[in-house]
């Protein structure tokens, strides 16, 4: 079936092994309720040219494309092919791998890994996101290593290594003719952790040796200083970041010129990641036989990180040395000071941090972005653009944070079974919004209705990775 809605646009071509019934309808001012609820344009003319029907007893083949002529570019490969043969044409090893996935969550990981040029990348979520540096590095271990695709992990890491500039990974990749945007303080630091996870899982020292100069140069740029005020404070060895009007951390909501959570200064997770990156590079230097220039700055950062510990015992400051001093907001960013492989905290501070997050932030589907009762706490996500983005990180629950919480809880308690059990409720999220996957956020108060994007890469990935690591811990104790 070929349908041309407007004369100056290419035709839409559809091929199916079902029956097509032409039944053209054109609705004037069709209303989209979800867009209306989100404060967006919500009416437009809607054209429906007809319908396809398929027997439930057979597999359906439905292909769409755009082009000219009779659509042979998409039709010919399938024109004389039965649905069974279409299925058989899929590589047999790929079908065996997918059939071997132990859960629907493992299968969901496939949906986010896509091609970029000759390499691979990760789509942050559907339907609104592209491939973002931060989300890709956070998601990589869960989407690839937890699903037995180390080769894909390597390709993604090498793809991103080619985009490093002034020690930074791009936050947003460009479209055709555009330039990458390097407005992130944490994507580059998550790059080190992604390489650590890959090397630990594979022992691929050859690839590490190839990328080591890039990683070493990235550390150097952070020590000297790079874009947006990102650089080491020579007085304490901690990493500072931020300039007015730019959002650099994952709490990146911005409405017009208003940066909702600017977090200028020394954010807690940025410095946990910095310390972790230095320790990772120290271990990498040993693996590839290079001098260790990283242990000494790591020790300096660890000593100074004690400044994040609150004297009242309520966990860690969210930001120190900011324009208004230290920010004592109880946010989930502090959990990374415990969950990352190399923690800059003493055991008692680790335990208090987990306790604070459990008491104020933990829900069945993730951690709240701000503790209830805090100034500006806004647990319900909805309304127009200003209301939604203004409350994005002010109380809604983020699913990707549940995995790091479980890893932090295990570090403190040494009870892998109990820590893994916290993930159990995520099975309900697989049926609540995007069926067979996990969405982006949830309301901060019960019943924690799913909101935001219905399919989010790091929500799937961090759940998978925590499950993988905690299951390995359980099995190691049993043997």
pLDDT in tens, 21-42: 998 898 999 999 988 888 889 9
Summarize pLDDT for 324-359 with one digit per residue, the tens.
999 999 999 999 999 999 999 999 999 999 999 999
Which positions ≥6 away from 94 have C-beta within 8 Å?
none
- Confidence band of 70 (pLDDT split at 50, 70, 90): very low
CA distance 460 to 429: 10
CB 240 within 8 A of CB 229: yes
> What's the distance, CA 39 to chain centroid?
26
Q: Check residue 7 and give its pLDDT.
A: 82
Q: Is it the case that residue 369 has pLDDT exceeding 90?
A: yes
- Confidence band of 83 (pLDDT split at 50, 70, 90): very low
- Confidence band of 90 (pLDDT split at 50, 70, 90): very low
Q: Check residue 71 and give its pLDDT.
A: 43
Mean pLDDT for 210-236 is 97
CA distance 374 to 364: 20
Lowest mean pLDDT among 87-96, 146-155, 182-191, 239-248: 87-96
- Spell out the domains of the chain, with CATH numbers in brackets: 2-93 (no CATH), 113-478 (1.50.10.10)
Q: Is it the case that residue 301 has pLDDT exceeding 90?
A: yes
Higher pLDDT, 298 or 129: 298
CA distance 119 to 114: 9
Q: Is it the case that residue 86 has pLDDT exceeding 80?
A: no
Q: Check residue 79 and give its pLDDT.
A: 45
| Percent of the chain at pLDDT exceeding 70 | 91
Q: Check residue 357 and give its pLDDT.
A: 98
Q: Check residue 99 and give its pLDDT.
A: 62
Q: Check residue 15 and give its pLDDT.
A: 81
Q: Is it the case that residue 91 has pLDDT exceeding 60?
A: no
Summarize pLDDT for 395-431 with one digit per residue, the tens.
999 999 999 999 999 999 999 999 999 999 898 888 8
Q: Check residue 77 and give its pLDDT.
A: 53
Q: Is it the case that residue 98 has pLDDT exceeding 70?
A: no
Lowest mean pLDDT among 10-14, 69-73, 385-389, 456-460: 69-73
Q: In which residue are the tokens 């043969």 written?
A: 85
Neighbours of 309 (CB within 10 A): 19
Which positions ≥6 away from 151 have C-beta within 8 Å?
none
CB 257 within 8 A of CB 227: no
């Amino acid at each position: 079936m070929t349908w041309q809605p407007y004369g100056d646009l290419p035709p839409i071509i559809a091929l199916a092994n079902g029956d097509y019934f032409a039944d053209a309808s054109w609705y004037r001012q069709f209303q989209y309720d979800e867009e209306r609820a989100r404060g967006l344009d919500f009416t437009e003319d809607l054209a429906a040219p007809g319908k396809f029907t398929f027997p439930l007893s057979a597999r359906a083949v439905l292909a769409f494309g755009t082009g000219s002529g009779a659509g042979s570019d998409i039709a010919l490969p399938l024109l004389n092919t039965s649905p069974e043969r279409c299925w058989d044409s899929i590589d047999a090893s790929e079908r065996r791998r997918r059939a071997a996935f132990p859960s629907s969550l493992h299968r969901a990981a496939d949906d986010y890994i896509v091609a970029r040029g000759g390499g691979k990348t990760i789509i942050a979520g559907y339907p609104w996101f592209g491939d973002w540096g931060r989300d890709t590095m956070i998601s990589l271990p869960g989407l690839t290593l937890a699903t037995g695709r180390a080769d894909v992990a390597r390709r993604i890491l090498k793809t991103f290594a080619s985009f490093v500039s002034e020690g930074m990974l791009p936050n947003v990749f460009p479209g055709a003719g555009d330039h990458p945007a390097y407005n992130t303080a944490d994507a580059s630091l998550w790059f080190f952790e992604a390489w650590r996870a890959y090397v630990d899982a594979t022992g691929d020292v050859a690839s590490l040796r190839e990328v080591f100069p890039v990683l070493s140069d990235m550390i150097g740029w952070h020590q000297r200083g790079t874009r947006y005020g990102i650089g080491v404070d020579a007085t304490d060895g901690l990493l500072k970041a931020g300039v007015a009007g730019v959002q650099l951390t994952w709490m990146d909501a911005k409405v017009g010129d208003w940066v909702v959570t600017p977090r200028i200064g020394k954010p807690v997770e940025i410095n946990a990641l910095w310390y972790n990156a230095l320790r990772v590079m120290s271990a990498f230097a040993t693996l590839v036989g290079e001098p260790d220039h990283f242990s000494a700055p790591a020790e300096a950062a660890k000593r100074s990180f004690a400044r994040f510990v609150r004297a009242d015992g309520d966990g860690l400051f969210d930001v120190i040395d900011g324009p208004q001093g230290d920010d004592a907001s109880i946010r989930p960013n502090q959990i990374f000071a415990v969950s990352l492989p190399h923690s800059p905290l003493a055991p008692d501070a680790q335990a208090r941090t987990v306790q604070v997050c459990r008491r104020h932030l933990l829900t069945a589907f993730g951690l709240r972005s701000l503790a209830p009762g805090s100034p500006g706490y806004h647990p319900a996500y909805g309304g127009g653009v200003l209301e939604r983005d203004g409350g994005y990180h002010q109380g809604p629950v983020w699913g990707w944070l549940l995995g790091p919480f479980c890893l932090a809880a295990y570090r403190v308690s040494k009870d892998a079974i109990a820590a893994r059990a916290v993930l159990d409720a995520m099975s309900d999220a697989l049926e609540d919004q995007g069926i067979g996957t996990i969405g982006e956020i949830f309301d901060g108060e019960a019943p924690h209705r799913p909101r935001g994007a219905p399919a989010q890469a790091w929500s799937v990935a961090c759940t998978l990775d925590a499950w993988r690591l905690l299951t390995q811990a359980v099995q190691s104790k049993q043997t």
